[in-house]
Structure formats: structure tokens, C-alpha cells
A = this chain, B = another copy of it.
Amino acid sequence: MSDPLLLLALDFGGTKHTAALARAGERVWVDRRQQAAPPGADADSDMTMMLGLARGLLTAHPGPLAAVGVSFGGPVDFERGRVRLSHHVPGWEDWPLRERLQTGFGAPVSVDNDANTAALGEHRFGAGQGCASMLYMTVSTGVGGGWVINGRVYRGADQMAGEIGHTVIDPAGPICICGRHGCVEVLACGPAMARRARELLETQPQAGAVLRELAGNDLRAVTAQLIARAAQWGDAFSEGILLEAARHLGAGIGNALSLMNPQRVILGGGVTKSGEKWWAEVRRAARANTLPEISAEIAPAALGDDAPLWGAVALAQDLMGLSTD
């Protein structure tokens, strides 16, 4: 028995699926496999793809499978182990994911949503190690969050805690997909930056020369990533867009600091790769928006896109009573 405690981690993402094997207590993957979900995917095809990835891993690395941890990119009923729905893929409504995987693998399974698994991953293995309380936030196409309180994932009464993306910071702001005005998400996520840039570029023909060039003079091609790159190349217009979004994010974080005073806030997701000026403005705005007695330690995620997968490892460890907390 070369692998006495083999753990399987699964990450059902919106556009790609990942399966990885780890040994309990180790912090490198034994192996991992990833595959993009094709257009027209549904819950059944997602499951077939993921089971294929996992079986491939287990065949290549035989050994007793101790437990399975799962991160799912959508709302999950953690207690019951059921997916509530996917915002991207049809067919996941009230889906008994834990039960199906337990039957399939003959091992205990734990399932949580990707914000909570990423928070748990960063807490156990990444930038949140040793924190009694932390807020993990992902800032990319949306703004999501997950809490660790007293060393454990805190899910809330309806398992909905962490929805910082839909806290309102400016009731005069633009309308969000959630129906409210001026949420953090609609002011600070990547698509929000791109939309704001397009709006302004349409009415300011002289502005944003670098950004226009990067986008091939096609406003539809403007993305948050291009805005960040143009800003780093000195495009004042793009820097303005970037820092405005950073300021809004910081305002939302400031409210979370006042309300919960976590030891650390950890930011992950594509938008956090927007450069030092973005980070400085997020930190400045967060401090400005909370009380001076409240420390505001805001740090980048350490595990990157692997945070949910490492959180899945932590879920699997916890099933075995191997938590290091």
C-alpha cells in the first residue's frame, strides 16, 4: 500500500472540470486532470466527464480511496449534499451529488459551493493559514465570498452567507442582475469595468487610445483584462476605470470590515491580477470606509485557481477526522 490515504478532489466549474488526487497531509498533487465542458453541456454530461477524469486518475494511481471532496460552481445544500442549481448549466436542479458520488466511488463524499471551498482551501493551505476569521472573495465575472469564522467555514442560516457581491454600496448606482442598484458586483467585477469603459469610450472619442488599440478598435472586444493591461501601459482613461472599480470594491470590503472585523480578507479571481495600483486603491478605499480601530489586512490569494480544489481536499480530510485546525 504505497498510498494509504488517497484523497480525491473534484471541481465542477462553469466552463471546465478538474479532478485531482492528493495524499492526506501533503501539499502537492499526486496527479490532476482537467477538461473543458463543451457547449450544450448539462448535468449528466458534466457528471460523465468528471467521472471519466476521476476514474482515469484512480486507474493511473491505484490505492484505497479514503474520501472525496467536491467544489461546485453554484449554490449547494451542504448539509444534504445536494446541488441546488447551476447558473451556467441546465439539469443540476436539486441534484443529489453527494449520494451519486458515494455510490460511484464507495467512499465518503463532502460537497460545498466554490466560494466556501476556496475560502477553506486558502484557510487550510494558502493565504489564510492560522486566521481565526477570514473573508475570502473572488473578483472575476462576478464577486463572491466565503467566510471562515473560528477556524471553520461559516455558511449562515440558509447557507447563503458571504454574498458580499450583492451588498449595496451606492443606491444611485447601476442596476445589477440581482435587481438591486449599486451592488459591489455591478460596480467592481470584470464585466462591470468593461461595460463602464465601453459606455465612456462611445461618448469620448479621444479617450483610451491604448485600450482602443489593444481591443483592435472594436469596443465589443474590451475586457477587464485589456483595461488592466492598458492601464499598466500608461493609458489614463483605463487607469481611471480600473481605480473606480477598485474603489467600489474597497467600499464593500470596508463595510464587511466594520460589520465582522475579520483578521484577514483574501482576494482571488482574475480581476485581482490587475496590478499594484488596483491593489493599492482597494486597500485605501477599504481603510477609508471602516473605523480606524479596525485592522484591514487585505492579501492576495495564494492558491490561485486551485483554491477550490484544495478546499475540496480539506473537505475530504475533514471527513476522515484529519482536520489540522
The residues of A with any CB-CB pair to B shorter than 8 Å are 75, 132-133, 145, 147, 149-150, 152, 154-164, 166-172, 178, 180, 251, 254-256, 258-264, 288-291, 293-295
Given the known A-B contacts A166-B290, A166-B291, A180-B289, are A262 and B156 also in contact in the complex, defined by CB atoms under 8 Å? yes
Which residue on chain B has the smallest CB distance to residue A260?
B161
Beyond A166-B290, A169-B171, A180-B289: 14 further Cβ-contacts under 8 Å?
A132-B157, A133-B157, A156-B262, A157-B263, A158-B261, A160-B258, A160-B261, A161-B259, A162-B259, A163-B259, A163-B291, A163-B294, A167-B259, A168-B169
Contact B164 A251 (CB under 8 A): no
Contact across chains for A156 and B291 when beta carbons are under 8 A apart:
no
Bound-complex Cα distance A24 to B70 (A): 46
Number of copies: 2
Write out the residue numbers on chain B whose beta carbons fall within 8 Å of the beta carbon of A289: 168, 180
Verify B293–A166 contact, CB threshold 8 A: no
Residue from A156, A162, A170, A259 whose CB has the most chain B CB atoms within 10 Å: A259
Task: Give the distance to chain B from A266, nearest Cβ to Cβ, in Å.
Answer: 14
Once the chains are docked, how many angstroms separate the CA of A209 from the CA of B251?
40
Q: Once the chains are docked, how many angstroms separate the CA of A218 from the CA of B311?
A: 62
Q: Does B293 lie within 8 Å of A160, measured CB to CB?
A: yes
Closest to A135 in B: B259
Cα A111 to Cα B162 in complex, Å, equals: 30
Taking a contact as CB atoms under 8 Å apart, the answer to whether B291 and A160 are in contact is yes
Chain B residue with the shortest CB-CB distance to A294: B160
Contact among B156, B178, B258, B295 with A133 in the assembled complex (CB-CB below 8 Å):
B156
For A134, give the chain B residue with the smallest CB separation.
B157
